[in-house]
Structure 1
Amino acid sequence: MATPTERVLIGTLGKPHGLRGELTVYLRTDEPERRFAPGASIEVGQGGKPMTVAATKWHSGVFLLSLTGVSDRTAAEGLRGSDVWARVASDEVPDADGEFYDRQLIGLSVRDASGATVGTVASVLHNPGQDLLVIDIAGDERLVPFVEALVPVLDPDAGYLQVADVRGLLSDDEDA
């Protein structure tokens, strides 16, 4: 039986680079060398057109991608703005301890310091300084820095995380 997979966003194609069909990539993965390995099968665009990675390289801090069958600037321009997806085993987790994929965090129940369920993780924002959890509390979004001091308990297998008792973190109520 085949391992179940999930479709995971790994990048967005930017402008063509040069004349031979290379594209710049706005990365949406911390593992570009793994997700864009030469020979890897990826899905491009809304319809998920299957394509194969021919080559990648870093050039002046920009990730460049060559795809099989995309051999000139015109063909590359036609892909500009397309999202790039990978099929990833549903049970795959990052190699390093203390690291998590967004899909492991989104949907987790959020508990306050007393253990009461107050909301769910709606999304994860990746900012230059630190990642932020977007927590939905009855339709109101709160941003919680994803650091151990503020998220001391994280148990994806049990389906929840717990947020520290910090005034104003989960509500605007002065008594919180």
Structure 2
Amino acid sequence: MQLVVARIGRAHGIKGEVTVEVRTDEPELRLGPGAVLATDPASAGPLTIETGRVHSGRLLLRFAGVHDRTGAEALRNTLLIADVDPDERPEDEDEYYDHQLIDLDVVTVDGTEVGRITEISHLPTQDLFVVERPDGSEVYVPFVAEIVTDIDLDEQRAVIDPPPGLIDDRAEIASAREDADGPGDDA
């Protein structure tokens, strides 16, 4: 299985280094010296990482055969793609790779179908599941233990216990409020 692990940004300096937008949870594993990565567009690669370092909070890479700014600039916006064993799991049993979660069915603890995970959004405070509902709309589910109670890769599903309002339709919420207030009690 091939996964996009980074996107090459601007050239840095004059010796062929580039900034990299990391798109993997394990950059030390996927983007370390010696790693050979396919590219999109394919004409740019494959690329072998020669060196890597962090500078001002950004990852800088230099590739074998790219030793000047001109060569580095030619790689800008190229996607770096790693071959990943689909059965590979992170070391921590409570962690998952994005590709393991994409396309999981999402159901509530009582078995109600919510939808299918189409994307994982990595935000500074937490990760979110982007869940496509059967009607085509999307709902965002925080990937936290209080809400996502179980990930079952064998059954290809994620079980959630959402707080009120997280996945409820606005019409359902309005109807529930109306029922709680009673008919015609707009006093």
Establish whether TM, by shorter chain, passes 0.5. Answer: yes
Task: Give the distance between the partners of 2:67 and 2:137, measured in 1 at CA.
Answer: 47
Match of 1:32 in 2: 27
In the alignment, structure 1 segments of 5+ residues that lack a partner are 1-5
- Counting matched residue pairs gives 170
Identity %: 39
Question: Which residue is 2:106 aligned to?
Answer: 110
| Cα distance in 1 for residues equivalent to 2:162 and 2:124 | 25
Aligned letter for 1:146? F
Higher strand proportion: 1
Q: Which residue of structure 1 lines up, in the alignment, with residue 46 of structure 2? A: 50
Give the aligned residue type for 1:168. Answer: G
Q: Cα offset for 1:82?
A: 1.1
Aligned twin of 2:60: 64
Paired residue secondary structure (2:46) = strand
Q: CA deviation at 1:137?
A: 0.6
Instruction: Look at both structures and tell me which one has the larger radius of gyration over its CA atoms.
Output: 2
Determine the structure 2 residue equivalent to 1:91.
Answer: 87
Q: Distance in 1 between matches of 2:23 and 2:37?
A: 14
TM-score under structure 2 length normalisation: 0.87
1:165 CA displacement: 4.1
Q: Which amino acid aligns with 1:30?
A: D
Distance 2:163 2:25 in 1: 30
User: Matched residue of 1:129: which SS?
Assistant: coil
Q: Does 1:167 align with 2:167?
A: no
Residues 41-76 of structure 1 deviation map (CA, whole Å, 9 limit, x = unaligned): 101223272111111111121101010111100010
Q: Which runs of 4+ in 1 moved over 3 A?
A: none
Higher helix share: 2
1:96 Cα deviation after fit:
1.4
Stretches of structure 2 that go unaligned for 5 or more consecutive residues are 177-187
Report the RMSD for the aligned CA atoms in angstroms.
1.2
* Deviation by residue 1:125-161 (Cα, 9 ceiling, x = unmatched): 0000100000111201000100010111211121101
2:10 is matched with which residue: 12, 15, 40?
15
Counterpart amino acid of residue 80 in structure 2: V
The alignment's TM-score, normalised by the length of structure 1, stands at 0.92
